Chains A and B, each alone.
Chain A
Amino acid sequence: MTNPSIGRSIPRKEGREKVTGRARYVDDMTLPGMLFGATVRSPIARGRLRGIRFGEGLPWNELTTVTAKDIPGKNSIVLLEDDQPCLAAELVNHAEEAVVLLAHRDKYLIEEARRAVQLEIERLPAIFSIDDSLACKEIIWRADNVFKSLRVDKGDVDAALAEAEFVVEGEYETGAQEQLYIEPQGMIAEANGRDGVTVWGSLQCPYYVHKALAALFALPAEKIRVVQMETGGGFGGKEEYPSMIAAHAALLAWKSGRPVKMIYDRAEDMAATTKRHPSRTRHRTGVTRDGKIVAMDIDFTLDGGAYMTLSPVVLSRGTIHAAGPYDCANVRIRSRAVATNFPPHGAFRGFGAPQSVFALERHLDQVAKVVGLAPDELRRRNFVREGQTLAVGQVVHEKIDMNELMERAFELSGYRAKRERLARENPGSTIKRGIGFASFLHGAGFTGSGEDYLASVAEVEATSEGKIRVCAASTEMGQGTNTIFSQIAADALGLECSSVEVVQPDTAHVPNSGPTVASRTCMIVGKLVESAALGVKQSLLQNGFLREEDGHDAFAGACRLYIEKFGPLRASSRYSPSPEIHWDDAHYRGDAYGAYGWGVYVAEVSVDTLTGETRVEDFVAAQEVGRVINPVLAAGQIEGGVAQGVGFALYENVVWRDGRMINNQMTNYIMPTSMDVPPIRVYFEELPYARGPAGAKGIGELPLDGTAPAIINAVENATGIVVRRVPLTPEILLDALDAAREKVHA
């Protein structure tokens, strides 16, 4: 046997290409005769399109122009629904909505042409707040502006609230957040009636793009091909929007008969593409005198922007996570995603959970104060344990002990000693330090029966040299898909990791293993890769080319013999519903996720009371994620997620004016630099999960959930200020500090 690779920090498969600059991203690709495409967008948030004028002085006959009437099929970007047009035809529903497309071989000319197109739009009243949308101040989406609403009911909340000794209320908000992958979005397309449509691009979900293009061009599936290039970060931002860019590039290619490259510059990317849904959460919590939570009444609303995109699914995850890892007999959650005239909000790492988890974990610190318990003691008395049920009625079968995980996080961070010492040292200093934490869970994979519907497939092929090729639509975008799939396949077959190649996702060559989202790649698709690899082995065993007792050196010979006799040696594996997982979508009850990751994060902060600036000084991230396939890659996921969480909590403020993002440059939308990220210590508790590959669960989204509330809880510990909204800008905190000082003086 070879040394198993799972559990070892196998270096990133494509690492050498990435450190030498040889890795090929979409903008690095050129096709002969290629044109450059550009998009003309609405400058206003809502209106009626009255006309399009092409200004003087440009050679319009040399330019390819596309408007809605040039679309061969259906004018929509088909995802959950078909409400979002590919190009606005009559109504404009958000600023930056695409109206006209242009292409030319001269990329400088195209910028001048883009400026020369005048859109005549009759302005209509627009709405930019959850309240205005709920009040139907304007009806902008179907009958009532509501994309989706959900209800979770467990026990009798009203009765429990009536009896509770304390009822604690609170309202919490989170702002929009830009994914800010460092590689802007882009696509190259070739399209014609004979060969169909091919796109190469920066994307997370090849088959989402595939589906959208088939409907747009009214072409059969086999006439559409989507190829993922090396992708410079996604974080959800390249989940749904790439379908739009692919559609635009392909329409220009279709009309011009030439390949078209469309790469967004940063300003366009930030203004036009999706962001994290802003949210508002209201909590009403009933607690007994000894700190047992007996009722959770939660109202959760997401601002979905102008079109549905993935809002119902984001809402679903946010809703299910809203009650956290706590045992409570009576839970009511009412939630909805509503329409506004902002550009559509969309997928972003955590997918609704960071919003509702922020609210809950801030709120529980308030509950603890009211009851008179330390924040950790309140959690300790309410953590869910094996055999108890979550809000949706899911019985926890995992052997998680959240108290133990919390103690581990406290030990690593010196939480108790610091809490005591900082309280002693703060008076008299203009710099106030504090320490706080958040405890949370995050479901891995699609919600409820989502994985059943997806029915994902992965395929493994062996070559006559005994090399393994893994074929899946799961994309590498930095998170380590290539490497962990290699490790999983290698161990299943007893081979070295270097014997495995993960094929570039290309819908012409890889099966639909579903989108690369929802912390599902390792746990769900990884398991399919493992099964398919075992299928290959099984074929060799059954046909007598290989014996169980053979070493890995016999593998190549067995493959050669098999292929000589039978032809290609392949096995595929399709996701099969687990008999133990039951989900009732109508009542939102049951096993919401096959497995959860569990976390306790501790943040130490310093607040400069002169400037209102908060710095994260130290951070401990303790989590249970099942078996860790690759410790370095896994820790990298956590550290990166924590850094994004620092931005979400303190820095990243989307400034809107009339529905447009006005700070759409990296200079003015500020993400953490190397100077802003604290030392991050990552600890993994590993409880193998039976249905995950080698016991692994999902990991990618988890760190976004706990980081912001841990930081803001620490800010309250430092200053006594109750913060209910992120991002917590220095402007807001200084106002609060001033108000608190005035109160003391008065």
Chain B
Amino acid sequence: MPRAKRSMPEKVSVQCRVNGHDATLLDFPMARLLDALREQLSLTGIKEGCGEGECGACSIEMDGRLVNSCLVPVAQAEGATIRTIEGVADGEQLHEVQQAIITHGGAQCGICTPGMILAAVNLLEHNGRPTEAEVRVALAGNLCRCTGYTKIFESVLAAVTVAEARD
């Protein structure tokens, strides 16, 4: 559809809080939050794998809930509190899940890793002691083609052990 023939929407300004900082996004209202965060805030740790909410590589937390940022129009981020992979570590101190993924081989090519970590961290915030079966369910929306998932399960369960020892 040629653009000139239709009245175009204006870009909208969206205020939200991202990884603990106030942020303003300026984009077409139907633009994907994925693109806005990557391009305007340089949060390129959020990955695009499929663009249809199937692979989970673009997973972020929005108001404490895991979402696929490729399926969120930017207009719906107004007032939202967002956490991306860049906001998971505490400065240089990695989250237990991040550390466990390094130690236990839970990342290979790394493209699913940010989304996978968000999904795992989100799980542990709702369920501090998941079983392997629960881990499998929680990560079913995050596809990994490299690892066969086995080492990801090991990583998440190891992170639980580390977190418990710390607490």
Nearest B residue (CB) for A638 = B148
- Are B55 and A632 in contact, with the CB atoms below 8 A? no
Tell me if A306 counts as interface (CB < 8 A to partner B). Answer: no
Most buried by B among A9, A24, A232, A680: A232
Tell me which residues across on chain A come within 8 A of B105, comparing CB atoms.
Answer: 9, 12, 632-633, 635-636
Tell me if B165 counts as interface (CB < 8 A to partner A). Answer: no
- Contact indicator per residue, chain A 648-675, by CB within 8 Å of chain B (1) or not (0): 0000000000000000011100010111
Q: State which of A16, A17, A19, A232 has its C-beta within 8 Å of the C-beta of B47.
A: A232
Interface stretch among A321-329, A381-389, A589-597, A639-647? A639-647
- Are A19 and B108 in contact, with the CB atoms below 8 A? no
Most buried by B among A14, A24, A28, A642: A28
Tell me if A35 counts as interface (CB < 8 A to partner B). Answer: no
Q: Tell me if A's interface is mostly helix, strand, loop or mixed.
A: loop
- Expressed in whole angstroms, the Cα–Cα distance for A22 and B45 within the complex equals 6
Nearest B residue (CB) for A58 = B2
Nearest A residue (CB) for B88 = A20
Q: State which of B102, B109, B112 has its C-beta within 8 Å of the C-beta of A231.
A: B109
Q: State which of A55, A235, A636 has its C-beta within 8 Å of the C-beta of B151.
A: A636
Q: A27-B48, A478-B108 are in contact. Are A18 and B149 (CB under 8 A)?
A: no
CB distance from B130 to the nearest CB of A (A): 12
Tell me if A47 counts as interface (CB < 8 A to partner B). Answer: no
Tell me if A182 counts as interface (CB < 8 A to partner B). Answer: yes
Q: State which of A180, A234, A632 has its C-beta within 8 Å of the C-beta of B104.
A: A632
Tell me if B62 counts as interface (CB < 8 A to partner A). Answer: no
- Expressed in whole angstroms, the Cα–Cα distance for A231 and B43 within the complex equals 18
- Are B84 and A680 in contact, with the CB atoms below 8 A? no
Q: State which of A27, A112, A666 has its C-beta within 8 Å of the C-beta of B3.
A: A112
- Are B86 and A28 in contact, with the CB atoms below 8 A? no
Nearest B residue (CB) for A267 = B51
Tell me if B26 counts as interface (CB < 8 A to partner A). Answer: no
CB distance from B167 to the nearest CB of A (A): 21
- Are B45 and A20 in contact, with the CB atoms below 8 A? yes
Q: How many residues of B contact A (CB 8 A)?
A: 60
- Are A266 and B148 in contact, with the CB atoms below 8 A? no
- Expressed in whole angstroms, the Cα–Cα distance for A442 and B88 within the complex equals 41
Query: Which B residues between 79 and 105 are near A, CB-CB below 8 angstroms?
Result: 84-86, 88-89, 94, 98-99, 101-105
Tell me if B44 counts as interface (CB < 8 A to partner A). Answer: yes
Q: State which of B43, B49, B102, B139 has its C-beta within 8 Å of the C-beta of A19.
A: B102
Nearest B residue (CB) for A19 = B98
Query: Which A residues between 455 and 480 are near B, CB-CB below 8 angstroms?
Result: 477-480
- Are B148 and A15 in contact, with the CB atoms below 8 A? no
Tell me if A56 counts as interface (CB < 8 A to partner B). Answer: yes
- Contact indicator per residue, chain A 544-573, by CB within 8 Å of chain B (1) or not (0): 000000000000000000000000000000
Q: Tell me if B's interface is mostly helix, strand, loop or mixed.
A: loop
- Expressed in whole angstroms, the Cα–Cα distance for A636 and B114 within the complex equals 18
Query: Which B residues between 134 and 162 are near A, CB-CB below 8 angstroms?
Result: 135-137, 139-153
- Expressed in whole angstroms, the Cα–Cα distance for A235 and B111 within the complex equals 14
- Are B145 and A235 in contact, with the CB atoms below 8 A? yes
Tell me which residues across on chain B come within 8 A of A635, comparing CB atoms.
Answer: 105, 150-151
Q: A28-B44, A643-B149 are in contact. Are A116 and B111 (CB under 8 A)?
A: no
- Are A182 and B109 in contact, with the CB atoms below 8 A? yes
Q: A671-B145, A677-B150 are in contact. Are A15 and B101 (CB under 8 A)?
A: yes
Q: State which of A12, A23, A633, A674 has its C-beta within 8 Å of the C-beta of B142.
A: A674
Tell me which residues across on chain B come within 8 A of A19, comparing CB atoms.
Answer: 94, 98-99, 101-102, 107, 110, 113-114, 117
Q: How many residues of A contact B (CB 8 A)?
A: 64
- Are B55 and A182 in contact, with the CB atoms below 8 A? yes
Nearest B residue (CB) for A666 = B54
- Expressed in whole angstroms, the Cα–Cα distance for A27 and B70 within the complex equals 15
Tell me if A233 counts as interface (CB < 8 A to partner B). Answer: yes
Tell me if A230 counts as interface (CB < 8 A to partner B). Answer: yes
- Expressed in whole angstroms, the Cα–Cα distance for A98 and B148 within the complex equals 34
- Expressed in whole angstroms, the Cα–Cα distance for A629 and B152 within the complex equals 21
- Are A674 and B145 in contact, with the CB atoms below 8 A? no
Q: State which of B3, B44, B136, B137 has its C-beta within 8 Å of the C-beta of A21.
A: B44
Q: State which of B1, B5, B47 has its C-beta within 8 Å of the C-beta of A25.
A: B47
Tell me which residues across on chain A come within 8 A of B101, comparing CB atoms.
Answer: 15, 19
- Are B109 and A232 in contact, with the CB atoms below 8 A? yes
- Are B1 and A112 in contact, with the CB atoms below 8 A? yes
Tell me which residues across on chain B come within 8 A of A57, comparing CB atoms.
Answer: 2-5
- Expressed in whole angstroms, the Cα–Cα distance for A19 and B137 within the complex equals 21
Nearest A residue (CB) for B150 = A639
Q: State which of B109, B136, B146 has its C-beta within 8 Å of the C-beta of A674.
A: B136
CB distance from B42 to the nearest CB of A (A): 9
CB distance from B92 to the nearest CB of A (A): 9
Most buried by A among B45, B57, B148: B148
- Are A477 and B140 in contact, with the CB atoms below 8 A? no
- Expressed in whole angstroms, the Cα–Cα distance for A122 and B139 within the complex equals 48
Nearest A residue (CB) for B54 = A666
CB distance from B40 to the nearest CB of A (A): 12
Query: Which A residues between 1 and 42 are near B, CB-CB below 8 angstroms?
Result: 9, 11-12, 14-25, 27-28
Tell me which residues across on chain A come within 8 A of B110, comparing CB atoms.
Answer: 14, 17-19, 23, 230, 232, 478
- Contact indicator per residue, chain A 50-90, by CB within 8 Å of chain B (1) or not (0): 00000111100000000000000000000000000000000
- Expressed in whole angstroms, the Cα–Cα distance for A266 and B47 within the complex equals 13
Q: State which of B57, B109, B139 has its C-beta within 8 Å of the C-beta of A478.
A: B109
Tell me if A443 counts as interface (CB < 8 A to partner B). Answer: no
Q: State which of A11, A116, A477, A666 has its C-beta within 8 Å of the C-beta of B2.
A: A116
Tell me if A181 counts as interface (CB < 8 A to partner B). Answer: yes
- Contact indicator per residue, chain B 54-91, by CB within 8 Å of chain A (1) or not (0): 11010000000000000000000000000011101100
Tell me if A265 counts as interface (CB < 8 A to partner B). Answer: yes
Q: A15-B107, A230-B110, A266-B50 are in contact. Are A671 and B143 (CB under 8 A)?
A: yes
Nearest B residue (CB) for A23 = B110
Tell me if A109 counts as interface (CB < 8 A to partner B). Answer: yes
Most buried by B among A19, A112, A477, A671: A19
- Expressed in whole angstroms, the Cα–Cα distance for A602 and B149 within the complex equals 19
Tell me if A617 counts as interface (CB < 8 A to partner B). Answer: no
- Expressed in whole angstroms, the Cα–Cα distance for A629 and B57 within the complex equals 30
CB distance from A182 to the nearest CB of B (A): 4
Tell me which residues across on chain A come within 8 A of B54, comparing CB atoms.
Answer: 665-667
Tell me which residues across on chain B come within 8 A of A643, comparing CB atoms.
Answer: 145, 147-149
Nearest B residue (CB) for A634 = B105
- Expressed in whole angstroms, the Cα–Cα distance for A478 and B49 within the complex equals 16
- Are A266 and B49 in contact, with the CB atoms below 8 A? yes
Q: A232-B111, A639-B147 are in contact. Are A21 and B49 (CB under 8 A)?
A: no
Tell me which residues across on chain A come within 8 A of B140, comparing CB atoms.
Answer: 673-675
- Are B146 and A636 in contact, with the CB atoms below 8 A? yes
- Are B113 and A18 in contact, with the CB atoms below 8 A? yes
Q: A21-B84, A265-B51 are in contact. Are A233 and B145 (CB under 8 A)?
A: yes
Q: A9-B105, A20-B86 are in contact. Are A636 and B2 (CB under 8 A)?
A: no
- Expressed in whole angstroms, the Cα–Cα distance for A116 and B109 within the complex equals 36
Tell me if A350 counts as interface (CB < 8 A to partner B). Answer: no
Nearest B residue (CB) for A56 = B2
A-B contact list, 19 entries, CB within 8 Å: A16-B94, A18-B113, A20-B88, A20-B94, A21-B44, A27-B48, A109-B3, A112-B2, A182-B109, A182-B112, A234-B109, A266-B49, A477-B109, A478-B108, A636-B105, A636-B148, A640-B147, A671-B143, A673-B140
A19-B98, A57-B4, A675-B136 given; name 8 further pairs at CB < 8 Å: A19-B117, A25-B47, A112-B1, A478-B146, A479-B108, A636-B146, A643-B149, A673-B140
4 closest pairs, A vs B, by CB?
Answer: A21-B45, A57-B2, A232-B111, A478-B109
